[in-house]
Amino acid sequence: MSQNATTRSTCTTCRLTFESSQLQRAHHQSEWHLYNMRRKMACLEPIPREEFERKAAEFRQTPMRLAEEHLCKLCNKRFHSFESYGDHLQSKRHVENAKIRKMKETVQENSNSVFTPPKMDLTKTASVAKEATVVQICLFCSTISRDLERNLEHMSTEHGFFIPDVNYCISLEGLLTYLHDKVATHHLCLWCSDKSKAFQSLAAAQTHMRDKGHCKVFHYDNAIAELTDFYDYRKKQEEDEDTDEQSDTDSDSDDSDLDFAVVDDAGYQLYLPSGAVAGHRSLFRYYRQNLRPLVSTNPSDSGQRIRRIVDRYKRLGWNAPSKAAVVVRAKDQKFIMRCRAKAHLRVGVKANALQRHYRKQVTY
């Protein structure tokens, strides 16, 4: 073996030979050698110097590439390496967030529901706000929609708000009016209204609900009594069961005993718990008439509107309450109605004791 062959230095990583040890040490400190060392640790083949220089030139032309790739805007997360960012893109959570984002964009494109008024002066804006009803105004950003359904669709897609137990709601207008009064008039949060004080303004209350994720109604425990006037779990429960047992009939009769008859202000009609109306004997000829009941032919009635809202909620991932939860809430509603009936009876007895002459109290 010659002396030149014995004095030559080699680099097994990059597969090179050098004339002297100084050239070998300089090569070991180069970026090319370090890059091939990383590839060797990853069980990859080394690349020639020309290919490394080409990749380095492409990397210098896009200096912000890594910063953009290491930030996932959909999940709002940052990653320190490109490998961890690639693993995140294939994770189950990122895939689910991408599906939800695509579904929301599809719903917004198909609906075109939100009505954004054009720019105008303050007087015109005030007149538009007066013309719009309460059920058309968003509870969390005061956006005005064309009708109640479009307003609910806007609040569900933009703020994640769903009417609790919407399939058992009997008065959407009344419920939204009550919630709007809590937010706009009393400046309360819909989720923590009983645990926190009122805010200074409507904007402060709306900002709190958006930032804290409180764009939802607290509808558990004792809060059911607050919204019981807008729901009817007993009637819906009877419709869903589809049973003809005698025990169900007995329970229905017991529930009807909780209601009470009411006389109107004029004193000519008596509203019975069964829903029938008893008239005064002086108006016998009028109450004897068998008039044909008016049947609503409007396709956008309350029942169909509720079904449309439920279908839209289900497309967004909403789940209806279980039958066990409905049974519990129906029992709670019966208990609340029983307490209210006793309170009404107590107040009526006290009022009768104070009244000496029975005459009309309202003259208008």
Q: Are residues 351 and 235 in the same domain?
A: yes
Q: Are residues 315 and 181 in the same domain?
A: yes
Which tokens is 328 given?
A: 């519990």
What percent of the residues of the chain are helix, what percent strand, and what percent coil, each to the nearest 5? 55, 5, 35
Task: Provide the pairing of β-strand 262-263 with 77-78.
Answer: unpaired
- Mean pLDDT check: name the lowest of 44-53, 118-127, 191-200: 118-127
Q: Are residues 185 and 323 in the same domain?
A: yes
Residue 106 placed within a domain: no
Q: Which residue range is the domain that position 334 belongs to?
A: 164-285+299-355
Confidence bin at 126 (pLDDT 50/70/90): very low
Residue 113 placed within a domain: no
The DSSP element (H or E) to which 269 belongs, if any, is strand 269-271
Which tokens is 68 given?
A: 């953009």
- In percent, how much of the chain has pLDDT > 70? 71
Residue 126 placed within a domain: no
* Calculated CA dihedral for residues 320, 321, 327, 332, nearest 10 degrees: -120
Residue 293 placed within a domain: no
**175-204: burial string, b at 16+ Cβ within 10 Å, e else:** bbeebbebbbeebbbbbebeeeeebeeeee
Position 273 pLDDT exceeds 80: no
Q: Which of 214, 171, 165 is nearest to 193 (CA)?
A: 214
| Among candidate residues 61, 82, 103, the one where a domain is terminated | 61
Mean pLDDT of the chain: 75
Q: Are residues 334 and 190 in the same domain?
A: yes
pLDDT at 240: 55
| Among candidate residues 61, 80, 110, the one where a domain is terminated | 61
Q: Are residues 52 and 173 in the same domain?
A: no
Longest distance between any two alpha carbons in the chain, whole Å: 136
Structural domains counted in the chain:
2
Q: Are residues 209 and 338 in the same domain?
A: yes
Over range 28-55, report the average pLDDT: 89
Q: Are residues 56 and 177 in the same domain?
A: no
Position 319 pLDDT exceeds 60: yes
**Distance between CA atoms of 266 and 224, rounded to whole angstroms?**
34
Please give the angle made by the CA atoms of 136, 137 and 139, to the nearest 5 degrees: 130
Over range 126-136, report the average pLDDT: 62
Residue 343 placed within a domain: yes
Residue 105 placed within a domain: no
Q: Are residues 44 and 185 in the same domain?
A: no
pLDDT at 259: 52
pLDDT at 342: 85
Q: Are residues 194 and 45 in the same domain?
A: no
**Distance between CA atoms of 217 and 220, rounded to whole angstroms?**
9
Q: Are residues 336 and 216 in the same domain?
A: yes
Confidence bin at 362 (pLDDT 50/70/90): low
- Mean pLDDT check: name the lowest of 92-106, 131-145, 223-237, 283-297: 283-297
Residue 344 placed within a domain: yes
Confidence bin at 119 (pLDDT 50/70/90): very low
Over range 18-36, report the average pLDDT: 89
| Among candidate residues 61, 85, 110, the one where a domain is terminated | 61
**Distance between CA atoms of 212 and 193, rounded to whole angstroms?**
13
Position 2 pLDDT exceeds 70: no
Residue 157 placed within a domain: no
Residues 152, 153, 159, 163, CA torsion sign: positive
Q: Are residues 54 and 181 in the same domain?
A: no
**130-162: burial string, b at 16+ Cβ within 10 Å, e else:** eebebbbbbbbbebbbeebbbbbbbbbbbbebb
